[in-house]
Amino acid sequence: MKLEIEVLQQQFGNMFEASLLQELAQVGNYMEVEEGFVLMRPGGYIRSVPILISGSVKILRADSEGREALLYYLGGLDSCAMSLTCCLDRRQSEITAIADEKTRLIAIPVEKIDEWITKYSSWKQFVFMTYQKRFEDLLGAIDQIAFHKLDERLLGLLNRKSKQCGCTIFNITHEELGQELATSREVISRLLKQLERLGRVKLSRNKIELLDKN
């Protein structure tokens, strides 16, 4: 797929200077992936750093027994700090990255990341902003896990999903939610039912509607 300089201009015009946009167009690898596409698995080698143009990607942490916990979402123009840190010395991934909807992105080859940091101050800014945002995201994840009960975390997760996709209806199973919160399907079912009784959500098969977001 061709990466048009106009598209880049439009997306990154007020963030990057013209010469960087040029380079982006030359070496960046444009990709479109469908919902559920696995961009990265733990242990995978990272050969490029993704920058999202549209869509969203969820980042999960897995333990040794196959359980997973949602860390955060990447959204428009976000990039992944894990891949930044990892690729700078050819390390393996420690996380899982899965497209949460149809997502368009540019993959930047590893070697450019470092080069551009000294070359383009706007790129340096972007890299540090990325680190900072991911740190905040991770701290947010820790807040949720350490300080909140499951029902609050579940509601929080639904709210974040809502913010991410801009809608209030999700096609998702209780099983999947359970995985993202590192708990079981039954627990999620129970809590959802409880939330439904409280008028916070409306449930049907494969579908959850978030009623009053606050």
Partner DNA sequence: GTAGCTCTGTAACATTTATCACGGACTCCC
Partner DNA sequence: GGGAGTCCGTGATAAATGTTACAGAGCTAC
Applying CB under 7 A, the residues found at the interface with DNA are 149-151, 173-175, 182-187, 189-190, 192-193, 203, 205-207
| Among 132, 186, 193, 198, interactor with a copy of itself by CB under 8 A | 132
Sheet with 38-40, strands from edge to edge, namely 38-40, 96-99, 57-62, 68-74
Of DNA, a copy of itself, none, which one sits near residue 117, judging by CB under 5 to 8 A according to partner kind?
a copy of itself
In whole angstroms, the minimum distance from the beta carbon of 194 to DNA comes to 9
Instruction: State how far the Cα of 108 lies from the Cα of 136, in Å rounded to an integer.
Output: 23
Asked if 55 and 36 count as a contact pair (C-beta separation under 8 A), the reply is: no
Q: Closer to a copy of itself by CB, 112 or 134: give it.
A: 134
Q: Closer to a copy of itself by CB, 67 or 104: give it.
A: 67
By the rule CB under 8 A, 161 interacts with a copy of itself: no
Burial class (CB in 10 A: 0-12, 13-18, 19+), 172: middle
In whole angstroms, the minimum distance from the beta carbon of 79 to a copy of itself comes to 13
Please give the C-alpha separations between residue 23 and each of 119, 184, 206, in angstroms, as whole numbers: 12, 47, 44
Helix/strand/coil percentages in the chain, nearest 5:
45, 25, 30
Instruction: State how far the Cα of 147 lies from the Cα of 106, in Å rounded to an integer.
Output: 36
By the rule CB under 8 A, 150 interacts with a copy of itself: no
Instruction: State how far the Cα of 175 lies from the Cα of 111, in Å rounded to an integer.
Output: 39
Show the binding pattern over residues 193-212: x = contacts a copy of itself (CB under 8 A), - = does not: --------------------
User: Which residue shows structure tokens 């070496």?
Assistant: 27
Of DNA, a copy of itself, none, which one sits near residue 145, judging by CB under 5 to 8 A according to partner kind?
a copy of itself
SS3 category, 17? coil
Show the binding pattern over residues 79-118: x = contacts a copy of itself (CB under 8 A), - = does not: --xx-xxx-xx-x--xx---------------------xx
Show the binding pattern over residues 1-40: x = contacts a copy of itself (CB under 8 A), - = does not: ----------------------------------------
SS3 category, 48? strand
Instruction: Write out the residues near a copy of itself by the rule CB under 8 A.
Output: 61, 63, 65, 67, 69, 71, 81-82, 84-86, 88-89, 91, 94-95, 117-118, 121, 124, 128, 131-132, 134-136, 138-139, 141-143, 145-147, 182
